[in-house]
């Protein structure tokens, strides 16, 4: 029976190995490395096919009795997700009614089977092993999420867990798959586990040769319902490659773009949404296709429009609902329905739920039952959604990131928010903040108050000192007059006045040198010229509008540079 060979935005799995082409060399390298380490790092840019390489390429190198893979995504917390995956595989932490001696470890020397005390984690691994007798592969996919979305405590706990896993007796291997641009975040991890970067594989983007292998491979499989026009295979591969790389003339393309493009090409030829009709890719059909940018944009726009009509909603609402699933960098952010709903207090829950399901049906969102989370099917779509955001929304997200970034830093390294930043954070009350983030804001508020108080004390102390000195001088002058020593009194008075003036400026200078005096406190009676909110006197824009203005200027500069080019 013939099958549709493309995966659109889903990763290839072991079951798809017959259609997985163009990665032979990397699969061999990865397979070799698996026997050289217990901790393997796979990295590469988004869209290079890391997940497919592991879940399809590597997995299909093993026989079923040699491969027990637990694919683990962060979900709400990586450590909790790992616990759950282990539990599901049979690594229960709870005792059963079996005799206690079954849990004793006699795996040491047969001559000295003294029971040993294992850690709870080791006992769980043992339970998984005894259930399957297979080597266990813990695959942490999209590992960068731990650094994008997780906090310090979550990261530290995970590193400790990895250290412990490397010590368990059972055959367990860890594979971490991470986006290349997040490698730097692994610095602390590597310091704790030096093995981390010893064996690593970089997954290269698809070049023309590989694209050719993929397209020819798929077209020549008997089980595939896609064929290539005979004699035109190379030209079709080259044509597809050119369409995807567009005007940029890069030497490589992203795998998801290739998948989306091939899917669109198929649909253009067959118009069969069930993807069962056989299709032959021809140069003529290819010529009718636009570039990948158009394909992705059109695809997303079409789907949003379609769902908007279906649910009788404005497209803006749908874009708004999609937005929380994308980070400020234009990457995916998985959310549970509840987390997502919390950001839309103004929209009916039923509507949000319907929209999410409709997007999931159209394969724009992916729902994982295990984690009960929705996420954008791929970063390539996330980027398109990000491009649709308004400046105001981006400004809000930037501030949100500021909070998150500061909260993630070590206590001794992070800076507290300024009064101005705190004013603007007030606008973010509708977003859910983590406890650490809330604590940081509270700490910043307390610090701002304390600083204000300290400066008030300084100022009041200075005034009191000056008054006291004036009083003392006045008293002294009165005494001198009374004693009929007017000339001396006058001289003394002038001298003391001079000392007072010098002392005043010296004091002021000293204070300034250790802690510059704040500008005189402004009263908040001005209005922002853009949005009209109350702001301190003497300012034109509120912090929020300042960011928007800054972004606009940046955007204009970018566009001007583009035009000049």
Partner 1 sequence: MALETQHIIIQGVADDTLTVLVNGQVQEIRNQLAELKALLSEQKSQSIQYADKIYNIGHIDEANFGFVTGKKAFNETLTRRLTEAMKPVSLSAERFLEKVQAIPGWESQLRISDKAKEIIAYSFVGVIGIQLSKLMAIGKEDMSEAKQRKYIEKCLQIASRSLDLLCFALISRLWDAAQQPPHNLSAAQQAQIARRLDEAFEPSLPDQFELLCTLHEIFSQPENGLTFPIPELGDLGKALEDGSSFQQTIRHLHALNEKLDKAQYDLLDCFEAETQLAAFLEQLSFLVSYRMASIKHIGYSQVRHADPGYLHRYAALGIDSKAHIDAEKIYYTPRTAHTDAVLLYRGDLYHEYINLSPFVIDYNALTGEHGAKICFYRSLDISDSTLEYLFLEDNSLVRVEKKGILKPDSDFNELMMSPENRKVLNLDNVVDQFREARRCLGGETLNFDDL
Q: Is 111 in the site for partner 1 (CB under 8 A)?
A: yes
Q: Give the Cα separation of 565 and 310 in Å (integer).
A: 43
For residues 144 and 161, what is the distance between their CA atoms, to the nearest angstrom? 17
Is 112 among the residues that bind partner 1 (CB under 8 A)? Answer: yes
* Residues 59, 34, 67: CA angle, nearest 5 degrees: 35
Least separation in angstroms between residue 194's CB and partner 1 is: 8
Give yes or no for residue 484 binding partner 1 (CB under 8 A): no
39 interacts with partner 1 by CB under 8 A: yes
- Work out whether 412 is an interface residue with partner 1 (CB under 8 A): no
Tokens of 280: 């032959």
Q: Which residues contact 12 (CB under 8 A, 6 or more apart)?
A: 19, 20, 49, 52, 55, 56, 57
User: Which stretch of DSSP H or E encloses residue 543?
Assistant: helix 543-564
Measured between alpha carbons, how far is 231 from 360 in angstroms, rounded to an integer?
Answer: 39
Residue 563 to residue 565: CA distance in whole angstroms: 5
Secondary structure (3-state) at 394 = helix
DSSP string, 401-448: HHHHHHHHS-TTTPPPPPHHHHHHHGGGGGS---HHHHHHHHHHHHHH
Contact flag: residue 25 with partner 1 (CB under 8 A):
no
Question: Does the footprint of partner 1 cover residue 101 (CB under 8 A)?
Answer: yes
Measured CA to CA, the distance from residue 313 to residue 402 in angstroms comes to 33
* Residue that is written with structure tokens 């367990």 in the block: 172
Between the alpha carbon of residue 243 and those of residues 240, 262, 438, the distances in Å are 5, 11, 48
Per CB under 8 A, which region of 77-85, 97-105, 219-227, 251-259 contacts partner 1? 97-105
Under rule CB under 8 A, residue 561 binds partner 1:
no
Q: Which of 110, 231, 516, 538 binds partner 1 (CB under 8 A)?
A: 110
- Would you say 280 and 266 are in contact if contact means Cβ atoms under 8 Å apart? no
Shortest distance, CB of residue 115 to partner 1, whole angstroms?
Answer: 10
- Binding of partner 1 at residue 532 (CB under 8 A)? no
Binding of residue 429 to partner 1 (CB under 8 A): no
Using CB under 8 A as the binding rule, whether residue 66 contacts partner 1 is answered as yes
Does 113 participate in binding partner 1 (rule CB under 8 A)?
yes
Structure tokens at 556: 């204009």
Range in contact with partner 1 (rule: CB under 8 A) among 96-104, 176-184, 374-382, 405-413: 96-104
Nearer to partner 1 by Cβ, of 67 and 344: the residue is 67
Contact letters for partner 1, residues 165-204 (x by CB under 8 A): -x--xxx-x---------------------x--x------
- Give CA–CA dist 503/188, Å, rounded: 51
Q: Which stretch binds partner 1 (CB under 8 A): 61-69, 177-185, 366-374, 551-559?
A: 61-69
Exactly one of 1, 95, 98, 411 binds partner 1 (CB under 8 A); which one?
98
Min. distance of Cβ 38 from partner 1 in angstroms?
Answer: 5
Taking contact as CB under 8 A, which single stretch among the options 4-12, 110-118, 395-403, 449-457 is the one that binds partner 1? 110-118
Collapsing DSSP to helix, strand or coil, 278 comes out as: coil
Told to check if 94 binds partner 1 by CB under 8 A, we report no
Near partner 1 by CB under 8 A: residue from 94, 109, 287, 538:
109
Question: Which residues bind to partner 1, rule: CB under 8 A?
Answer: 35-39, 61-66, 96, 98-99, 101-102, 106-107, 109-113, 129-134, 166, 169-171, 173, 195, 198
């Amino acid at each position: 029976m013939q099958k549709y060979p493309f995966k659109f935005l889903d990763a290839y799995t072991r079951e798809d190995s017959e259609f997985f082409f163009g990665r032979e060399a990397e699969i061999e390298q990865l397979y070799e490395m698996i026997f050289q380490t217990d901790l393997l790092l796979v990295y590469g840019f988004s869209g290079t096919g890391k997940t497919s390489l592991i879940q399809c390429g590597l997995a299909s190198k093993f026989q079923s009795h040699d491969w027990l893979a637990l694919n683990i995504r962060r979900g709400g917390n990586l450590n909790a997700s790992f616990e759950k995956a282990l539990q599901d595989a049979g690594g229960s932490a709870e005792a059963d009614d079996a005799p206690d001696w079954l849990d004793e470890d006699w795996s040491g020397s047969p001559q000295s089977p003294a029971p040993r005390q294992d850690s709870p984690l080791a006992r769980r691994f043992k339970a998984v092993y005894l259930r399957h007798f297979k080597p266990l592969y813990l695959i942490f996919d999209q590992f960068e999420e731990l650094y994008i979305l997780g906090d310090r405590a979550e990261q530290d706990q995970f590193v400790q867990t990895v250290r412990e896993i490397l010590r368990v007796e059972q055959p367990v291997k860890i594979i971490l798959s991470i986006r290349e641009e997040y490698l730097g975040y692994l610095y602390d991890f590597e310091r704790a586990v030096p093995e981390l970067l010893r064996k690593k594989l970089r997954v290269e983007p698809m070049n023309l040769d590989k694209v050719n292998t993929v397209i020819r491979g798929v077209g020549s499989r008997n089980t595939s319902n896609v064929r290539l026009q005979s004699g035109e295979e190379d030209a079709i591969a080259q044509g597809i490659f050119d369409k995807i790389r567009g005007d940029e003339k890069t030497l490589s393309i992203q795998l998801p773009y290739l998948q989306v493009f091939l899917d669109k090409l198929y649909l253009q030829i067959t118009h069969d949404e069930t993807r069962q009709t056989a299709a032959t890719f021809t140069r003529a059909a290819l010529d009718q296709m636009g570039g990948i940018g158009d394909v992705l944009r059109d695809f997303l726009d079409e789907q949003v429009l379609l769902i908007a009509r279906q649910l009788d909603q404005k497209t803006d609402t749908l874009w708004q609902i999609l937005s929380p699933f994308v980070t400020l960098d234009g990457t995916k952010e998985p959310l549970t329905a509840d987390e997502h709903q919390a950001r839309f207090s103004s929209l009916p829950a039923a509507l949000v739920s319907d929209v999410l399901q409709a997007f999931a049906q159209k394969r724009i969102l992916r729902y994982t039952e295990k984690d009960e989370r929705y996420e954008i099917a791929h970063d390539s779509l996330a980027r398109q959604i990000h491009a649709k955001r308004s400046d105001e929304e981006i400004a809000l997200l930037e501030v949100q990131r500021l909070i998150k970034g500061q909260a993630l830093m070590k206590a001794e390294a992070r800076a507290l928010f300024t009064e101005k930043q705190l004013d603007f954070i007030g606008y973010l009350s509708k977003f859910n903040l983590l406890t650490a983030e809330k604590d940081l804001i509270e700490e910043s508020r307390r610090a701002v108050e304390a600083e204000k108080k300290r400066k008030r004390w300084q100022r009041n102390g200075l005034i009191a000192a000056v008054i006291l000195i004036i009083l003392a001088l006045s008293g002294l002058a009165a005494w001198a007059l009374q004693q009929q020593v007017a000339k001396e009194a006058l001289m003394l008075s002038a001298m003391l006045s001079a000392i007072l003036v010098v002392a005043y400026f010296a004091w002021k200078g000293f204070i300034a040198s250790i802690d510059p005096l704040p500008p005189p406190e402004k009263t908040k009676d001005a209005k922002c010229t853009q949005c009209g909110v109350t702001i301190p006197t003497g300012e034109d824009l509120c912090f929020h509008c300042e960011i928007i203005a800054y972004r606009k200027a940046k955007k204009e500069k970018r566009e001007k540079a583009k035009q000049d080019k």
